[in-house]
Amino acid sequence: MGRLISAEFRKILTTKMWWALLIPTVALAALWSIAGNLLIGLVLDSINRSVVTSELRLNFNNLPWSTLIFARTVNITALFPIVFGALALSSEINRRTITTSYLTAPNRGSLLGAKLITYAVWGLGFGVVITGVASIGTLIASRPEQLPDAISWLEIAGSGILSCMLWTLLAMGVGALFGSPIASIISLLLYTLLVENLIGTLLPYNWPGILINGSADGLTGSVASQLVVDKVASISPFISGDAQQLFSDLIRAGAGARGAFDWWISGLIFAGWTAVFAVGGWFMSRQRDIT
């Protein structure tokens, strides 16, 4: 197994795919985190100057808004780990190099296991890069009073890294099922960016949280939104009860996690979806005729 994993790493590192995807990953994470934090600062300045907030003596600047932008950055930039994972098996199947890979391995199961481990590590790597760049962008553009404490930041960063790894493995399973790089990538991007968002608008409030993209966004978005909601009582006693629930729902929507459950429930749901596609791709790859 160790030799197969090493071979998979060499196979990736000797191609241009990994850095061709890593460069736009870094660029998008930096752009989104910096622009988002600058924009939210301008919006809050406008809100704090309003008559209502002045009369109620509210100061929304003291909430950790940067966490919402962080969650959004991770969820948007996860498109690149998705593409990376989708190409894991589909590109080899399409070029028929998978035949050689199978013949040099003891059996198909061991090769597929090595690929799963390899791409899980790469998914974690993409997650570390994305959260690292997003953190730097946030520190550059966010106001100090809108930053969470270090422990909270590690929590949301950890959820982001986990999300990227799961997306990579899920996409790998989809690629194995389709066996075509173009079909896999287009299907995944079309579903995550358009189809599920349209479906979500037609469903009751919590239902989007059980879908693939909804649970993935909930993994990071729920952590981020809860950090903001937990601080609400510190700015005004008027935001409580139904008002606090409404505020919580709006914040979750702002974090891109409309209808999502708590982070750990969202994580379990997303892990379940990942397992479904990974196992499906596994069995399809074991049965596929490669002659």
pLDDT, tens digit, 9 for 90 and up, residues 70-92: 999 999 999 999 999 999 999 88
The answer on pLDDT for 1 being more than 80 is no
pLDDT in tens, 169-196: 999 999 999 989 999 999 999 999 899 8
**pLDDT at site 186:** 95
Q: How confident is the model at residue 283 (pLDDT cuts 50, 70, 90)?
A: confident
pLDDT in tens, 112-141: 889 999 999 999 999 999 999 999 999 999
User: For all residues of the chain together, what is the average pLDDT?
Assistant: 86
User: What is the average per-residue pLDDT within 148-158?
Assistant: 92
**pLDDT at site 174:** 96
**pLDDT at site 107:** 80
CA 127 vs CA 27, 163, 173, 215: distances in Å: 14, 8, 19, 17
Q: Look at residues 283, 276, 94 and name the one whose alpha carbon lies nearest to residue 185.
A: 94
User: What is the average per-residue pLDDT within 98-113?
Assistant: 80
pLDDT in tens, 257-268: 777 888 899 999
The answer on pLDDT for 286 being more than 80 is no
pLDDT in tens, 226-257: 888 777 766 655 555 666 677 777 777 777 77
The answer on pLDDT for 53 being more than 90 is no
**pLDDT at site 227:** 84
For the ranges 6-10, 50-54, 231-235, the maximum mean pLDDT occurs at 6-10
**pLDDT at site 15:** 86
Global pTM reads: 0.91
**pLDDT at site 29:** 96
The answer on pLDDT for 27 being more than 90 is yes
**pLDDT at site 52:** 53
Q: How confident is the model at residue 157 (pLDDT cuts 50, 70, 90)?
A: very high
Q: How confident is the model at residue 57 (pLDDT cuts 50, 70, 90)?
A: low
If 0-12 CB within 10 Å is exposed, 13-18 middle and 19+ buried, where does residue 9 land? middle
Q: Is the dihedral of CA 163, 187, 275, 10 positive or negative?
A: negative
